[in-house]
């Protein structure tokens, strides 16, 4: 074999090795695995707990009754004296009643 034939043969192998091959179906699926895992981790660490807290807060708001002592998200304590579909009236002192959005109730401190 001559030197020319040897060089031609070796450059052919180099050219074939330099061409990117198409990934197979399994390789494509494997490359998507980290993205799927990140989404699953975000779901279980961020999205699902927030949904649980939101449902628990909504259930608590539906159970508010007159006479309950509540804490608002602004830090004000009061006793519920009136309830509407989307607002609540709290008695915060003698002869002082304040109207709040029902969603402003953060916790029920005690029940009547």
Of 82, 110, 112, 79, the C-alpha closest to 93 is 79
6 or 27, which is more confident: 27
Measured CA to CA, the distance from residue 15 to residue 76 in angstroms comes to: 75
- pLDDT interval class at 20 (50, 70, 90): low
Examine the domain organization and report whether 75 and 56 are in the same domain: no
pLDDT, tens only, 60-88: 999 999 999 999 999 999 999 999 989 99
* CATH number of the structural domain spanning residue 79: 2.30.30
Enclosing domain of residue 73: 65-112
Examine the domain organization and report whether 57 and 89 are in the same domain: no
Residue 2 lies in a domain: no
Domain count, the chain: 2
Angle at 22 between CA 17 and CA 24, to 5 degrees: 120
pLDDT, tens only, 98-111: 999 999 999 999 98
């Amino acid at each position: 074999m001559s030197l020319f034939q040897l060089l031609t043969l070796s450059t052919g192998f180099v050219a074939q090795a330099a061409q990117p091959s198409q990934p197979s179906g399994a390789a494509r699926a494997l490359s998507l695995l980290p993205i799927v895992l990140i989404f699953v981790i975000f779901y279980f660490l961020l999205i699902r707990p927030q949904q649980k807290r939101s449902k628990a807060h909504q259930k608590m708001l539906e159970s508010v009754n007159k006479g309950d002592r509540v804490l608002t998200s602004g830090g004000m304590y009061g006793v519920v004296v009136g309830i509407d579909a989307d607002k609540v009236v709290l008695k915060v002192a003698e002869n002082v009643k304040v109207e709040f959005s029902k969603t402003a109730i953060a916790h029920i401190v005690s029940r009547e």
